[in-house]
Amino acid sequence: MKEVRRLRYAIIGGDARAVCLARLLLEEGHRVHSYALEKAVLPGQISKEDSLQAAVYGADCVVLPVPAERSGLLNAPLSEESRPLTEILEALWPGQPVFGGGFGEESLRAARQGELRLTDLLRRAEFTVGNAALTAEGALGLLIRESDRAIWGGRVLVCGWGRIGRLLSLDLDALGAEVTVAARDPRDRAMARALGLRALDYPELGDGIGDFEFLVNTVPARVLDTGLLCGVSEEALLLELASAPGGFDSSLAANLGLRVLRAPGLPGKTAPWAAARLIRDCIGKVMEEGED
C-alpha cells in the first residue's frame, strides 16, 4: 500500500467548496492554512492566517478558487476584503504548485513571471466532466424546487451543447421532459437529434420560444437576443448557469416581468462536499504526475 505523503496546503479564498476541501485535507492528516476565509467556520486545527505570506510560506500546494477571479479580484465571498488576484500570485514562491480555475490573461502572465507551477483545473477533463455532472444535478434541483410546474411533460429549452448542456439535456429527457436543444453548430444539433432530443439553431426558435416553460442557458455569450427574450412566456422560469455576460440580458428579462434565477458556480452551492472531493482528487492526480 502506497504511503500517503503529508503536505502543507494553503487554501486561499473561495466559497463553501474551499471550506469543505480544507476539512477533507485536515482529515487526511495534512497541515492546512487558510487566507481570505475569515467568515468561514473552520476547525481550530486549520490556521486562519492574518497575512498571505504566513499562509503560503513553505506550502507544498496553494489552492485558489474555481473560478479563481471575478473582474480581476480574488474570488473570495467568505472574506472581509477584496484583493487583486495578481497580488496573490506575485506573493508566491517560484516553483510552488498552484491550483485554481478560470485564470485571466494578467493572472497567467503573473504566474509565468513568478515561475509558478500553475494548473488550471478547468483545463483538466477529469475535473470539467465531474463539475458538469454536479452542475447538471444542481440545476435539476433548482428547476424542481423553484417552479410549480413538473419536469415530467414540461417543455424545456436548453441553450448550449457543451458538457453541462449535454448532461442536463439527457437528465431532463430521462425525467420525461420535452427537451429542445438550441445550438449554433450543426454537428451539435445532429448529435442532440441522434440522442432523441429536438434541436434548433437560435434563429429557428422564433415565436415558438413562448411555448417553453423552462429555459436554461449554459452559454457564456448572448445567444438569446432582445427579440427572442420578448417572446418568452411570463409563466416561464429562466435559469442562467453561465458566467458573465450570460446568455441573455437579465435586467431586460426582469423588466419584462420574467422570473430569472442566476446560478453560476452551482456546485459550490448545491454540492460543496462532492465538489471539494473532485478538487482534491484532481490535485492529487496532478501532484502524483509531477512526482513521476
Evaluate whether 8-123 and 129-268 have a shared fold: yes
Mean pLDDT of 82-111: 94
Side-chain-side CA neighbours of 140 within 13 Å: the count stands at: 22
pLDDT tens digits, 195-232: 999 999 999 999 899 999 999 999 999 999 999 999 99
Q: Is the pLDDT of residue 5 over 90?
A: no
Beta bridge partners of 120: 100
Of 206, 221, 133, 256, the C-alpha closest to 238 is 256
pLDDT tens digits, 49-60: 999 999 999 999
Reduced DSSP (H G I as helix, E B as strand, rest coil) percent helix, strand, coil of the chain, to 5: 40, 20, 40
Place of cell 487526511: 28
* Cα–chain center distance at 154: 26
Q: What angle do CA 4, 21, 90 make, to 5 degrees?
A: 95
**pTM, whole model, 2 decimals?**
0.90
CATH fold of the domain at 8-123: Rossmann fold (3.40.50)
Can you give the residue ranges of every domain in the chain?
8-123, 129-268
Side-chain-side CA neighbours of 271 within 13 Å: the count stands at: 20
Q: Is the pLDDT of residue 76 over 90?
A: yes
CATH tag for 129-268 (out of 3.40.50.170, 3.40.50.720, 2.130.10.10, 3.50.50.60): 3.40.50.720
Q: What is the pLDDT of residue 1?
A: 41
Give one DSSP letter per residue of 224-252, joined into a string. Answer: S-HHHHHTS-TT-EEEE-SPTT-SS-HHH
Q: What is the pLDDT of residue 185?
A: 97
* Cα–chain center distance at 46: 25
Cα–Cα distance, 233 to 236 (Å, whole number): 5
Cα–Cα distance, 81 to 74 (Å, whole number): 10
